[in-house]
Amino acid sequence: MVQRIDPDSNRFRQIVRGKIKQNLRKYISHGELIGKKGKDIVSIPLPQIELPRFRYGSEQKGGVGQGEGEAGTPISLEPGQGLGAGQHPGDHILEVDVTLEDLAEILGEELELPRIEPRGERMAETAKDRYTGIRRVGPESLRHFKRTFRQALKRQVISGVYDPEHPVIVPLPEDARYRSWKSRSLPEASAVIIYMMDVSGSMGHEQKEIVRIESFWIDTWLRSQYRQMDTRFIIHDAVAREVDRETFFHVRESGGTRISSAYQLSREIIESDYDPAQWNIYPFHFSDGDNWGGEDTAVCLRLLEEFFFETCNVFCYGQVKSAYGSGQFIKDLKERFPDRERLLLSEINCRDDIVRSIKSFLGKGR
């Protein structure tokens, strides 16, 4: 049922959307939204949406309360239940809920991300009906009242039966118009993201936080592009292992780094679970660029060349700057594959680089 409030509600949502868009870069680099995530929605704090007034600030104002306690006892100002809320205006921050779908759309608009075109041979067609057209025949349940009325009106005007003083419209069977549908085929594609992260001693808390924020946004965007999506997580130091999301972001290991171990494990996962003919595959690897030595790097390069470039949509490598890392790995990649379009590289020095990095990974539309 259409409510009277709907236009105002929709307008409010539009405005919220605009505000989110305005502040998106801030949200991204602060990582505020992560952790506020429900199943499909994120609640976003929007301090500045309320209409400004000349009014007192409540901090300086204080007030009168009721209850036990001596001078100095702290009290809470949380609004309670009851017939009516109290009249303490407070400085509350509006929390608005946004679906991840909307958020992805806003991200796409703001960063001008192209929609991803899934690779051709992997498209499965699904048919979907939409009521868009009008026909002269059809079941009564689909009769379009307005169009039928209009048709009858037209006929009466043309034939001169219509009397503006006495506007009675009588539709005849030939006036009836019905809704009709068209079948549209939708491409349906599945995708898998494989996140790999270096958790060796040189990756500190801040580096992991950057990875976490960035992968949240990558996740949000890719999810909006594919109907079905899997995510897998691999951590590695000198050896690699598969973990769940929680562990991925929180574990702290130490020790050396052999990147090839992660690439090898990732290859095994793809080979066993994700047939490249059926899946769009996105490996993302984050590291501080320190590898065991030239020998291991050579193994990595060979794996990329022989396996990943053949099977994956793109292979993304993000190098997070850390105090201890040498940052050598990205240089090796650049040197070995100067113009490989399947390989996307990005250096992330600080949080403010996250936006640029997301754009360089996702801006190609693959």
Partner 1 sequence: MTATGLTAELAETAAEIRRHAKDYGLDFFEVVFEMLSSEQINMVAAYGGFPTRYPHWRFGMAYDELQKGYVFGLQRIYELVINNDPCYAYLMKGNSLVDQKLVMAHVYGHADFFRNNCWFRETNRKMMDEFANHGVRVRRYIERYGLQAVEEFLESCLSLENLIDIHSPFIQRRAPGREEEPEIHRTQPARLRAKSYMDSFVNPPDAIEAERRRLEQETQKRHKFPEERQRDVLLFLIENAPLERWQKDILSIIREEAYYFAPQAMTKIMNEGWASYWHSTIMTEKVCNASEIVDYADHHARTMGTQPGQLNPYKIGLELYRDIEDRWNRGRFGPEWESCDSAEKKAAWNLDVGLGRDKIFEVRAIYNDITFIDEFLTEEFCERHKLFTFEYSKQSQAYVIQSRDFKEIKQKLLFELTNAGQPFICVEDANYKNRGELYLYHDFQGVPLKADSARETLAHLFKIWGRPVHVETATDRRRKLLTFDGSRHEEKFIK
In the complex, the residues that contact partner 1 under the rule CB under 8 A are 3-5, 7-15, 49, 51-89, 91, 94, 96-97
User: Are the CB atoms for 190 and 279 separated by under 8 Å?
Assistant: yes
Q: Give min distance, CB of 24 to partner 1, in A.
A: 20
Q: Which is nearer to partner 1, 14 or 247 (CB)?
A: 14
Question: Residue 273 region, left (φ>0) first, then alpha (ψ -120 to 50), else beta?
Answer: alpha
CA–CA dist 74, 256 (Å, integer): 50
Q: Give min distance, CB of 68 to partner 1, in A.
A: 6
User: Are the CB atoms for 308 and 283 separated by under 8 Å?
Assistant: yes
User: Are the CB atoms for 362 and 218 separated by under 8 Å?
Assistant: yes
Q: Give min distance, CB of 9 to partner 1, in A.
A: 4
Angstrom CA distances, 316 to 12, 44, 48, 75, stand at: 38, 29, 37, 51
State the residue for tokens 């079948």.
183
Q: Give min distance, CB of 33 to partner 1, in A.
A: 18
Q: Give min distance, CB of 149 to partner 1, in A.
A: 23
Q: Give min distance, CB of 62 to partner 1, in A.
A: 4
Q: Which is nearer to partner 1, 43 or 328 (CB)?
A: 43
User: Are the CB atoms for 292 and 238 separated by under 8 Å?
Assistant: yes
Q: Give min distance, CB of 91 to partner 1, in A.
A: 8
Q: Give min distance, CB of 72 to partner 1, in A.
A: 5
Partners of 346 in the β-ladder:
318
CA atoms within 13 A on the CB side of 122: 19
Q: Give min distance, CB of 103 to partner 1, in A.
A: 17
Q: Which is nearer to partner 1, 67 or 164 (CB)?
A: 67
Q: Which is nearer to partner 1, 67 or 139 (CB)?
A: 67
In 3D space, the residue among 115, 98, 91 whose CA is nearest the CA of residue 19 turns out to be 98
Q: Which is nearer to partner 1, 92 or 128 (CB)?
A: 92
CA–CA dist 233, 247 (Å, integer): 9
User: Are the CB atoms for 188 and 126 separated by under 8 Å?
Assistant: yes
Determine the residue type at 65.
Answer: G
Q: Which is nearer to partner 1, 5 or 137 (CB)?
A: 5
Q: Which is nearer to partner 1, 61 or 250 (CB)?
A: 61
Q: Give min distance, CB of 227 to partner 1, in A.
A: 28
CA–CA dist 291, 319 (Å, integer): 12
CA–CA dist 240, 235 (Å, integer): 6
What is the CB neighbour count within 10 angstroms for residue 195?
Answer: 25
Burial track 300-331 (b if 16+ CB lie within 10 A, e otherwise): bbebbeebbbebbbbbbbbbbbbeebeebbbe
Residues in the chain: 366
Q: Which is nearer to partner 1, 23 or 360 (CB)?
A: 23
Q: Which is nearer to partner 1, 53 or 205 (CB)?
A: 53
Report the run of H or E that residue 228 belongs to, with start and end.
Answer: strand 228-236
Q: Which is nearer to partner 1, 91 or 275 (CB)?
A: 91
Residues 6+ apart with CB under 8 A from 249: 208, 211, 212
